[in-house]
Structure 1
Amino acid sequence: MASEPPTGHDLHHHGDLDAEPGLIDFAVNVQGDGPPAWLRDRLVLAIDELGRYPGAVLEDRARATVGERHGRPPEQVLPLAGAAEGFALLPALGPRHAVVVHPGFTEPEAALREAGVAVTRVLTDPAHGHRLDPSAVPADADLVVIGNPTNPTGVLHPAASLRELARPGRVLVVDEAFADAVPGEPESLAGDPTVPGLLVLRSLTKTWALAGLRAGYALGDPVLLERLAAPRPHWPVSSLALEAIVACCEPDAVSAGDQRAREMAGNRVSQSAALSAIEGVEVQQGVAPYLLLHLPDGTGELVRARLRERGIAVRRADTFPGLGADHVRVAVRPPETARVLAAALDDALCSLVGASGELASRH
């Protein structure tokens, strides 16, 4: 690992900017086109309650349901308008020196920098599979942010390595937005209240296709959650989002989510194999519902353009610190859809790379 000073990365670029209506979407990591029927029905029924403000009764119900899901008391739960709200609130914790482990989700760094917080980037090493080296994190950091599994590498760091980052006077933020997409949720710290200064952020928008609703939650010590929530306005989480939090954290939903994760894991294996078989394509090994690809040198931008011409959107990855123009991230999709991507990517590279390995075309 090595630290890196800030550069010109667009920290606010996300996959939805790469996806456009009509394209086959490999750019966004939401699973499916919309919530399942049972969840849609729950939300439809909740519409009748929209004439009332989101009250304490519904919020308490959400806290209790999430708490039961993770073996925590309700006071250790904070419902959020998506995990992204949690990242936006991090400056409220008053950090002096924040560390963000990259490549990783960029909104935490963006929020901290825009609030004037000093941020150090710690880059994982691709030669070592982008695994976390806890010793690379500066000892004086009073806030550390890391994803698990990490976006976009898909690497799942051992919980023991994450615990090494915790210490008195430091807030350890673990972004578990995709933890429920890993069968059994191994290495999660969501159910461990013993780690000092731990703040776990969870999203419900990926597995349950609720990106437009914004639903998630934070887990941590009540005093820490109170500090995090201090700048929020009244009623920050809508009634529909609170109902979604309850619905998606009930036992039947957790079981259904784990089954979805197992199906996705199988799809990931087959999609990874198909893409790895394409000459010049390197696939980062991981466990998340997306794959980080390294394309042949100098082909990244051209390949993305060729794929778009074929009606396919992929996520550019050069906006992630530590990655370059020849990296792209692709969501894991069902096999029939993944085969379309593999064929189009193979064709695009064949049209660009000649027998000598040099670019055959620059348009």
Structure 2
Amino acid sequence: MRTEDDREASGTGHDLRHHGDAEVRDDGAGLVDLAVNVRADTPPRWLREEISGSLASLAAYPDGRAARVAVAERHGLPVERVLLTAGAAEAFVLLARALKVRRPVVVHPQFTEPEAALRDAGHTVDRVLLREADGFRLDPAAVPEDADLVVVGNPTNPTSVLHPAGTIAGLARPGRTLVVDEAFMDAVPGEREALAGRTDVPGLVVLRSLTKTWGLAGLRIGYVLAEAGVVAELERAQPLWPVSTPALVAARACLAPRALAEAAHAAHRTAADRAHLVAGLTGLADRGVRVVSPAEGPFVLVRLPDAAALRHRLRDLGYAVRRGDTFPGLDEGWIRIAVRDRATATDFLRALTAVLPQGPRGP
């Protein structure tokens, strides 16, 4: 791993505001969406009905107290350690604006919004770049000791690497805020390696999203788990009524026992579907395909020969995948593929095989 100063990185051409939805907007009608990491066939009918039922109360201002209690109970925390947000992305903006930090560090490749928010707030951002040769695994020693804000994803988007909780906790230091983006942790069976609910790690801030597993990207609902003082500081930076009534109702519904059981089942199903996809991709190794493994999230990161051209050829065959070159630490040779059901993956693998260069390729 290596660090890269923001002033040097600013010329690398990474589009930090590019996200997977750009692959399917506008001219993406009819494409099979393998670019966005929201679980397919969501939200479920029962959740849509819960949200629809909230529309009769839109005349009243949103009241987030019950949803906040639901989050606190879900993680065994006092409500003072919970902040509801309009998706996890809002939390990155709040952190960038509210916290007084001197040297923020973002561990890449990962979701680019944290760095974008920090830059927009006027911060100079240092990067720790994880290497393919190391399996994109985290080495706490690579993070500068004087970093007073560290941001890392787990499991990490786009690499799908699940870092050990102990390794991430090892980044904690007195005077440092450690931000862990666990937006995809509920897609990991048993949520192993989760830090949500931990109160023994100093300076820990955990971000969670309910949009991925439940298909609520258009509704925007997530939350922050942190020390009460940090929560209060972030809350002061929020506008009034930041989370809508339908989103608050959805949060309570998604944290109910029935929903948690459904999410756990979905995580196991995703793991099985991912294994099928990874096996098919691994079978194309002699055609130059390399998969980052082990993958633990609802997506996989893949290096392809002539990936930029292949991405366009896949679109011609009806498949949208996420380009990788907008993530610091990656280049145009990478794509990210969302996990879908076995039938969809099988059809995609057939299309990928058709567009790959013929003959064996070296590493």
**TM-score by structure 1 length?**
0.94
CA contact (8 A) 1:63 1:75 kept: no
Q: What is the CA-CA distance between 1:322 and the residue it aligns to? A: 0.6
CA contact (8 A) 2:178 2:203 kept: yes
Task: Name the structure 2 match of 1:32.
Answer: 40
Task: Name the structure 1 match of 2:130.
Answer: 124
Q: What is the CA-CA distance between 1:116 and the residue it aligns to? A: 1.4
CA contact (8 A) 1:180 1:261 kept: yes
Q: Hey, what's the Cα distance between the residues in 2 that align with 1:88 and 1:345? A: 38
- Between 178-187 and 17-26, the greater mean CA deviation after superposition: 17-26
Task: Name the structure 2 match of 1:64.
Answer: 69
Q: What's the secondary structure of 1:122's corresponding residue?
A: strand
Q: Hey, what's the Cα distance between the residues in 1 that align with 2:360 and 2:190? A: 46
Task: Name the structure 2 match of 1:314.
Answer: 321
Q: Hey, what's the Cα distance between the residues in 1 that align with 2:91 and 2:337? A: 25
CA contact (8 A) 1:300 1:328 kept: yes
Matched, 1:53 2:58: no
Task: Name the structure 1 match of 2:296.
Answer: 287
**Residue-by-residue CA offset, 1:301-333 (whole Å, 9 max, x unaligned):** 110010000111000010000111010000000
Q: Hey, what's the Cα distance between the residues in 2 that align with 1:356 and 1:295? A: 13
Task: Name the structure 1 match of 2:13.
Answer: 8
CA contact (8 A) 2:288 2:360 kept: no
Q: What's the secondary structure of 1:321's corresponding residue?
A: coil
Matched, 1:173 2:179: yes
Q: What's the secondary structure of 1:206's corresponding residue?
A: helix
**Identity across the alignment (%):** 54
Matched, 1:334 2:302: no
- Following superposition, which runs of at least 4 residues in structure 1 exceed 2 angstroms of deviation? 353-358
* Unpaired runs of at least 5, structure 1: 359-363
Task: Name the structure 1 match of 2:51.
Answer: 43
Matched, 1:21 2:21: no
> Quick one: which amino acid aligns to residue 289 of structure 1?
P
Q: Hey, what's the Cα distance between the residues in 1 that align with 2:4 and 2:44? A: 42
Matched, 1:195 2:204: no
Q: Hey, what's the Cα distance between the residues in 2 that align with 1:330 and 1:336? A: 15
> Quick one: which amino acid aligns to residue 150 of structure 1?
T
Task: Name the structure 1 match of 2:102.
Answer: 96
Among candidates 237, 252, 269, match of residue 263 of structure 1: 269
Q: Hey, what's the Cα distance between the residues in 2 that align with 1:94 and 1:178? A: 28
**Residue-by-residue CA offset, 1:167-224 (whole Å, 9 max, x unaligned):** 1111100000000000100010001012111110000001001110001100011110
Task: Name the structure 1 match of 2:307.
Answer: 300
**TM-score by structure 2 length?**
0.94
CA contact (8 A) 1:69 1:251 kept: no
> Quick one: which amino acid aligns to residue 23 of structure 1?
L
Q: What is the CA-CA distance between 1:32 and the residue it aligns to? A: 1.5
Q: What's the secondary structure of 2:198's corresponding residue?
A: coil
**Residue-by-residue CA offset, 1:272-323 (whole Å, 9 max, x unaligned):** 1011112211111120000000012xx1111001000011100001000011
- Counterparts of 1:100-249 in structure 2, within 5 Å, are 100-249=106-255
* Unpaired runs of at least 5, structure 2: none
Across the two proteins, how many residue pairs are aligned to each other? 350
Among candidates 52, 58, 82, match of residue 77 of structure 1: 82
